[in-house]
Amino acid sequence: MRKKYACIVTGGNIKPSLVQSNWSYRGNTYQNAFSVKNGCDFSGVSLNQSFKFKIISNIQNNCVVCDIAVLGLPNKELSIQIVL
């Protein structure tokens, strides 16, 4: 089973409507957070690692695991691709 991921936007420009302005997890509050919607395609990043990404708008996701909502993650979801 694949993991679900939460990400925080720390730089660049992103529309505020695409991210959760404040998200709390384990007593910490983060700004500009989102859940990765295409978790099965999201790999190669370690915990607390910074990376660049682009938003994928026309993705067809047929994965049941990726579609499961997980409590505690940011409410906003984005499909993303890591940019090297």
* pLDDT tier, 64 (very low <50, low <70, confident <90, very high otherwise): low
User: Three-state SS for 76?
Assistant: coil
pLDDT digits 0-9 by tens, 3-55: 788 999 999 999 999 999 999 999 999 999 999 988 877 777 888 899 999 99
Give, rounded to a whole angstrom, the gap between the first and last alpha carbons of the chain: 26
Question: Which of residues 67 and 13 earns the better pLDDT score?
Answer: 13
pLDDT at 69: 63
pLDDT at 72: 83
pLDDT digits 0-9 by tens, 25-37: 999 999 999 999 8
* pLDDT tier, 58 (very low <50, low <70, confident <90, very high otherwise): confident
Instruction: Say how far apart CA 31 and CA 78 lie, in whole Å.
Output: 15
